[in-house]
Amino acid sequence: METSKVIHAIYTDDDVLMSAVKKVRAERYHIEEIYTPFPVHGLDKAMGLAPTRLAITAFIYGLLGLAVAVVMMNYIMIDDWPQDIGGKPSFSYIENMPAFVPIMFELTVFFSAHLMVITFYLRSRMWPFKNAENPDPRTTDDHFLMELAVQGNGDELENLLKDTGAVEINVIDKTD
């Protein structure tokens, strides 16, 4: 097991955290992770993270749901068990499509929503019975934690973090 040192800088205000992230990035330090009790708007952009592709997967999952709805309704209502409902013919899918629109919409939303939740949990590596990776329990209540790797620059990094408004700075040995 390899150990490395990281600095945990703790902040009590999200606006102070945002300005600290900008100052730390301007000094060319790499921020490993930031833990917050709630989503902070613009933090991903300030950290320089790439935009997420989850919206693309949501669209693909919606198309999958739409395809499943079309194939399912064509098989059930046209091929397997055609029924005369309200005097409407069941000779082809196209003739009955207006009646199928609500089902197509619902399955599009159903597939997109459920598969997005599963994708989010898998992508975030948050599966059942997983131990929490949160380094400080206060970040689930009212504190913000910025984690930075120490590579021989510990003192100047600590001074920079103090200048940015960190209320607490801890150097931790992190085991990989």
Whole-angstrom Cα distance, residue 132 to residue 130? Answer: 6
Asked if residue 93 has pLDDT above 90, the reply is no
Instruction: Give residue 103's pLDDT.
Output: 93
* Fold of the 3-37+142-175 domain: Alpha-Beta Plaits (3.30.70)
Instruction: Give whole-number Cα distances, 140 to 27, 122, 144, in Å.
Output: 28, 21, 9
What are the tens digits of pLDDT across the range 12-24?
999 999 999 999 9
pTM passes above 0.75: no
Dihedral (C-alpha) 38, 45, 115, 97: value to the nearest 10 degrees? 120
Instruction: Say if CB 111 and CB 68 are below 8 A apart.
Output: yes
Instruction: Give residue 41's pLDDT.
Output: 94
Task: Give the mean pLDDT of the chain.
Answer: 89
Q: Give, as one character, the DSSP assignment of residue 84.
A: -
Please identify which residue in the block is written with the tokens 């920079």. 160
